[in-house]
Amino acid sequence: MNIQPTYSSLDYPGKMALVLFTPGCDLRCKYCHNPQLLKNQELTKWDIEEIEEEVESNMDFIDAIVLSGGEPLLHVDEIKNFIKQAKDSDLLVKLDTNGLHPKQTKEIIKDIDYVAMDIKAPLDKYYKISDVYPNNTKELITETINIINDNNVFLECRTTYVPKLLEPEDIAELTKNLNCDRYTLQQFRNRVTLDANLSNFEEPNPESLKTILENLETNIPEIRLKSRQFGNQLIKSN
């Protein structure tokens, strides 16, 4: 199967979810923890039927499906099948996206309950994280955020903090005028990384990440930190 289904109580806060990891992505983040998913592959009719059966037979145990990857919006026509099945069954739907696909976001946003979107770096500094990114990254991500907000869908923005690739000033810059409901800074983990050199980087100390977040000047209502040591921590809320 070209989609990896996994059950998780962490990917949709407070809910038990079936997470669907779809193949392919248009970025190459140096810290990517799912490098096996970066090669794009077609989702076949068989993939779709298998997942639909998986959802059907576990309907009583899950509250939600999470469309993740890779970048799920590379397969927007196929994932519409899962979204329809979830909505017909009163399940919630969360989308994890890199924010580079506003057109596809617009096609499905009315049926999405929660979006978690990566903001890798200040929008004009994606070169710090990925060797590959569209020239109009800033415009694409801004448009995606506007579509999500115009549809009143809960938006969490997330950044993975990798020392040597990002500075505290980058987090201050990218959150300054970010229009989202929740911002989460994620501690870099050095176990599996696309760029093997990053496995020699130390994982940042959660206390130093907390200090970065406490010093932010932003109107985002909720600020969180995700770390191996302390799990998902609320740092600030309005």
- Site track 79-118 with ligand SF4 (rule: CB under 6 A), x = hit: -------------------x-------------------x
Helix (H) or strand (E) segment spanning residue 44: none
Q: Which stretch binds ligand SF4 (CB under 6 A): 26-34, 165-173, 184-192, 195-203?
A: 26-34
Cβ 140 to ligand SF4 shortest distance, Å: 13
**Residue number, 28 or 125, with CB nearest to ligand SF4:** 28
Residue 159 lies near ligand SF4 (rule: CB under 6 A) = no
Residue 125 lies near ligand SF4 (rule: CB under 6 A) = no
User: What's the rounded Cα separation, in Å, for the pair 50 and 45?
Assistant: 9
User: What's the rounded Cα separation, in Å, for the pair 24 and 190?
Assistant: 22
Cβ atoms of residues 129 and 155 within 8 Å: no
Nearest one of 172, 185, 181, 187 to 218, comparing CA atoms: 172
Name which position in 69, 72, 99, 204 contacts ligand SF4 (CB under 6 A): 69
User: What's the rounded Cα separation, in Å, for the pair 103 and 113?
Assistant: 18
Residue 70 lies near ligand SF4 (rule: CB under 6 A) = yes
Number of residues that bind ligand SF4 (CB under 6 A): 11
User: What's the rounded Cα separation, in Å, for the pair 85 and 33?
Assistant: 29
Cβ 132 to ligand SF4 shortest distance, Å: 9
**Residue number, 27 or 216, with CB nearest to ligand SF4:** 27
Contacts of residue 124, defined as CB under 8 A and 6 or more positions apart, other chains included, come to 137, 138
Cβ atoms of residues 174 and 188 within 8 Å: no
Cβ 236 to ligand SF4 shortest distance, Å: 25
Q: Which residues bind ligand SF4 (CB under 6 A)?
A: 25, 27-29, 32, 34, 69-71, 98, 118
